Amino acid sequence: MCGLLAYLSTDAPRVDDDRVDDVRAALHCLHHRGPDDTAVWADPHVVLGFNRLSIIDVEGSPQPLPYVGDRYRILFNGEIYNYVELREELAAAGAQLATHGDTETIVAGYHLWGQDVVRRLRGMFSFVIWDTHTRTAFGARDPFGIKPLFTARLADGGLVFSSEKKALLQLLGGSKAAGDVDPASLQHYLTLQYVPEPATLHRGIRRIESGTSFTVVDGELATARYFHPSFRPQPVPAGGEQDLYDRIAAVLDESVAKHMRADVTVGSFLSSGIDSTAIAALAHRYNPDLMTFTVGFQRQAQSEVEIAAESASILGVRHVPVEVSAEQFADAIPEVVWYLDDPVADPALVPLYFVAREARKHVKVVLSGEGADELFGGYTIYREPISLAWASRLPPAGRRAMARIADLLPEGVRGQDLLRRASIPLEQRYYGNARNLRDDELAALLPGRDPDLSHVAVTEDLYRRTREAGYDDVTAMQYVDLFTWLRGDILVKADKMTMANSLELRVPFLDPEVFAIASSLPVEQRVPRRGPGAKDRTTKYALRQAMRQIVPPRIMNRRKLGFPVPTADFLAGPLHDWARGIVTDSQTQEWLDRDVVLGLLDRLRAEEVPSKRIARQLWSVLVFMVWHGIFVEERIVVDVPETVYPVRL
């Protein structure tokens, strides 16, 4: 797990000492991603910089790694979990391997198999390979987008790639040179809680999308999607349901085994739900001394800490809990946002930052349960097509009547949102697992919004593919989430908050073999229907059944908390003045109506039970204001600590 930075000028030799120095200076922004080693290599056409977090082949595999003499140089951020098998296959084909690591398998595979190498990799990755003979580059991101990769074009025409956006901002010469704030991306952010790929909040910086490879030839960037996630529900196998559940358990166990491959200590995050508990239970099979980590808030009514501690005791693992106060939460926000690069309005980022910081004192790698919900059908919202099936049978006039009734009801009345959502088709009401602002609320908050720009623009292509594939509504929602919520929120916070602490996070659910079996499940094995004969009223049905012999019974059907944050209570109480200060100090009046924001704050404080929905809207605004203060106004200066850790843990 590392930080890469590449400057490519393949149409003319432009590299001089000044350019090398620029890359070296910008590389320091990524030091937290790889404090074990820093190296820069250059030729007349490229500068390749790397910060390494040594996990596999700790003493070897330095990057930028050469291959075939000095023909190739590779920068690689991530882990390839089937590297042992790939090395054997490559050696049998005559490849000369000089290291014992996984990095070399990628570049050796590229030399032997060409661009198809990406289809053979089981892992998380973003990489850039430079071919000194052809003066071309090839690179890719992993299928689900676990590892990030940003790109921009400099004023001299050169292309730059980086694991984090802040290094590109430095090379570009600051926020102004990067194109300031992109209004469309801001509008999407306020609705979705994140900026959807491939955009960022700066016009001049983009992301290589998940599941995409790219080439750079004569300075021109060309991308191609190599991974097209496909759900192909199959009947329950002839061996019956238990045979299916046994296969799920076996595939997940094999994935965890491969994700445990490391030359350093591996631990696991542990929350209250089945996903992380299953991962920890399986990991314990391969490491009897496994340590687990969880986080909660002081004086919180619903907390992960006690439940996770109970699960850890049953599993027989060493457990480390972390508790965070409201003051610690607020104090960490500027640093958290600096590490994020682009705002993500998910308060769970903050406790994740703290638990990662504690975990790094004990281990260098952690496993986590991200991806289970998207693959196995775990979000409660996936039950909505079942609960609204009656509405889909109504004629258009009936739906319009429901919409009118919803508009006439006082805001917040029970059932209003149900009527509103029942009145519109899935493609208009569901845009990923985030529902932050309605159009009227966005119009009030963002006076300059583009009324012709909608969240539908983010998902319309995705829904077109689901129609072509003939997906049912539940499967369509899962497919949409793979391209929206998973890679826009879940995986961004997982990468950025752990890497902020030089900690590698691995996600065994997001493995090609696990996806293969999850994507074959009939919808009844993901989200069972209500009614006579229904086996269960829960979500992730097949996964829960598969884990019954592994996960403690009390955990099996518990509603997941997911590192819950009492944001509404914080903003209405101990952090109200802190939030008001952010709003009044912010220079975002070009974008946001400050009076509307202050009105929301006052309304939240006046409510007997603070509204979680209003708190979520406020949180998205506050995170953007802090981001703007850091990256645009440069008014907020973040004192980022130097990252110093031993190579081995």
Chain centroid, CA 330 distance in Å: 22
Structure tokens, 256: 């965890």
d(CA 309, CA 439): 43
CB 373 within 8 Å of CB 540: yes
* Contacts of residue 497, Cβ cutoff 8 Å, sequence gap at least 6: 336, 339, 349, 352, 353, 356
Q: What is the 3-state secondary structure (H, E, C) of 537-563?
A: CCCCHHHHHHCCCCCCHHHHCCCCCCC
Q: Please pick, among 2, 491, 621, 625, the residue that the annotation labels catalytic.
A: 2
In one-letter notation, the amino acid at residue 579 is A
In one-letter notation, the amino acid at residue 214 is F
Chain centroid, CA 94 distance in Å: 38
User: Looking at the DSSP assignment, which residues form a beta bridge with residue 592?
Assistant: none
Q: Is residue 225 helix, strand or coil?
A: strand
| ω into 64 cis (within 30 of 0) | yes
The secondary structure of residue 642, as a DSSP letter, is P
User: Looking at the DSSP assignment, which residues form a beta bridge with residue 506?
Assistant: 367
- Taking the CA atoms of the chain, what radius of gyration do you get in angstroms? 24
In one-letter notation, the amino acid at residue 629 is G
**Four-CA torsion 600, 606, 612, 613, nearest 10 degrees:** -40
d(CA 537, CA 387): 12
CB 218 within 8 Å of CB 120: no
d(CA 377, CA 228): 19
Backbone dihedral angles phi then psi of residue 318, each to the nearest 5 degrees: -75, 135
Residue 29 designated active-site: no
| Runs of H (alpha helix) within 262-394 | 274-286, 304-315, 326-340, 349-359, 372-376, 384-387, 389-392
Report in angstroms the alpha-carbon separations of 563 from 293, 324, 617, 637: 12, 11, 19, 28
In the chain, the N- to C-terminal Cα span, in Å, equals: 14
d(CA 624, CA 617): 11
Give which of 181, 180, 189, 182 is closest to 442, Cα–Cα.
Answer: 189
* Contacts of residue 263, Cβ cutoff 8 Å, sequence gap at least 6: 54, 55, 56, 57, 58
* DSSP states of 236-293: PPTT-HHHHHHHHHHHHHHHHHHHT--SS-EEEE--SSHHHHHHHHHHHHH-TT-EEE
Give which of 600, 528, 604 is closest to 568, Cα–Cα.
Answer: 604
d(CA 560, CA 433): 15
Residues annotated catalytic, as ranges: 2
